[in-house]
């Protein structure tokens, strides 16, 4: 096969539509002298219907006149042209075509023909429109949407995501969702997430995340894998619902249910739950815990002589003192009326006695402008093996009553809690 035959075969079998016209721009020219089968298939015309005709037969009402004007200007100046417009097939259906037109010069340098390589880009434009429509739809969605690739790099965030997190698209793209991590979830939480996704399962959970400015927020988040035609995972899409207000409301309700309204300390219901927790821990792993029960001395007289507002003020100041004097893990409870309880985890009787003495001494400095000096009597006890919660409370209550009977403003250790014996046991451990 010689070069000319090879060239003709290549053009005839080209995927792109190719049409060659003469260079006559007068009248209705130029005129088609050659077109390949791909051009006939794209336009719906047979070869015989095209030869000698002007490509203008493909133009219609939606063909952009500005594009045509630019095309004619390029043809008249013998310069290459590139552009796209709407053309029409023989049956009248429109299609989007992309042109690349070049002048062909003879040996003398004079333009004799124009060769145009064309491609129907309708499908591509429709896909691009669909993508834009999808992106617009995602952007106007009220819920934050995040899409990552297989390696968890962020490839898309919508405007709701930007508003909620404070990260705009420029900040987020190329990053991983780890930029939102708050530190509120342990490693097991994220291990469970990735384990589910790698199994091809969706993952749904409540996330506590952190905004760009450092503030925490809460979302109910669903994450799912996106697969290609071969069922290979290509992306992950996450849709979240901001539940921060709901979480805050639930926390406030929890506080109301578990906090004493006047003092802000745990109420009796919450205290009983804390006792159950420490008791269960002690029964399972053998840890010890101690209990302090304190009662403000002569509190009824304060109320009777000075009124309940003064009594309430004394209660609030006592609660503040207790909160300041005990450790983070200790549970301080308003047990009832003027009676307070402190649960001391992992604490033996000797340390509990010292802490109770600190409270008693602190109460001496509390005072009140109306009520005057205020004191507290306290009972202290350590949980004993096989002892019930009720049994422990009973022993400490008895110690408290003994402190009052002995003149108040003192600490009494419960029966059965020998401080020296316990100290010796602690030293052995």
Active site residues: 338
Nearest Cα to Cα of residue 72 among 83, 61, 62: 83
- Round to whole Å and give the CA distance between 58 and 43: 8
Phi and psi at 201, nearest 5°, equal: -95, 155
- Round to whole Å and give the CA distance between 159 and 149: 19
The H or E element that residue 81 is part of is: strand 81-88
116 in Cβ contact with 18 (< 8 Å): yes
Q: Is 153 helix (H, G, I), strand (E, B) or coil?
A: coil
- 172-179, long-range: CB < 8 A, 24+ apart: 172/146, 176/148, 176/152, 177/146, 177/148, 177/152, 177/238
Tokens of 198: 């790698």
Pairing state between β 411-413 and 154-157: unpaired
């Amino acid at each position: 096969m010689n070069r000319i035959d090879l060239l003709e075969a290549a053009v005839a079998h080209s995927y792109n539509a190719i049409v060659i016209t003469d260079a006559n721009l007068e009248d209705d020219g130029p005129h088609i002298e050659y077109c390949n089968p791909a051009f006939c298939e794209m336009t719906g015309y047979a070869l015989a219907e095209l030869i000698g005709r002007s490509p203008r037969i493909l133009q219609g009402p939606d063909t952009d006149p500005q594009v045509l004007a630019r095309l004619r200007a390029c043809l008249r100046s013998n310069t290459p042209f590139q552009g796209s417009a709407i053309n029409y097939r023989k049956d009248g259906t429109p299609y989007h075509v992309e042109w690349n037109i070049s002048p062909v010069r003879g040996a003398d340098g004079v333009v004799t023909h124009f060769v145009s390589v064309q491609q129907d880009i309708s499908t591509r434009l429709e896909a691009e429109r669909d993508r834009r429509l999808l992106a617009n739809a995602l952007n106007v969605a009220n819920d934050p949407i995040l899409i990552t690739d297989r390696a968890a790099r962020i490839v898309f965030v919508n405007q709701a995501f930007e508003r909620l997190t404070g990260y705009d698209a420029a900040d987020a793209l190329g990053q991983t969702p780890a930029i939102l991590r708050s530190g509120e979830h342990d490693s097991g939480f994220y291990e469970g997430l990735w384990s589910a996704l790698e199994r091809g399962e969706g993952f749904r959970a409540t996330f506590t995340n952190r905004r760009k400015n450092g503030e925490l927020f809460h979302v109910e988040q669903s994450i799912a894998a996106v697969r290609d035609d071969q069922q290979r995972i290509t992306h992950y899409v996450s849709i979240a619902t901001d539940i921060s207000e709901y979480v805050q409301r639930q926390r406030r309700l929890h506080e109301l249910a578990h906090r004493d309204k006047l003092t802000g300390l745990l109420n009796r219901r919450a205290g009983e739950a804390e006792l159950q927790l420490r008791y269960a821990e002690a029964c399972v792993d053998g840890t010890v815990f101690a209990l302090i029960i304190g009662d403000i001395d002569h509190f009824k007289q304060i109320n009777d002589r000075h009124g309940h507002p003064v009594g309430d003020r004394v209660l609030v100041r006592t609660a503040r003192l207790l909160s300041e004097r005990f450790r983070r893990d200790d549970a301080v409870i308003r047990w009832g009326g003027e009676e307070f309880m402190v649960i001391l985890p992992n604490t033996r009787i000797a340390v509990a006695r010292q802490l109770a003495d600190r409270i008693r001494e602190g109460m001496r400095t509390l005072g009140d402008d109306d009520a005057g000096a205020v004191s507290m009597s306290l009972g202290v006890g350590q949980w004993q093996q096989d002892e019930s919660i009720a049994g422990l409370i009973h022993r400490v209550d008895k110690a408290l009553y003994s402190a009052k009977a002995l003149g108040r403003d003192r600490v009494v250790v419960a029966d059965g809690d020998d401080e020296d014996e316990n100290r010796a046991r602690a030293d052995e451990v």
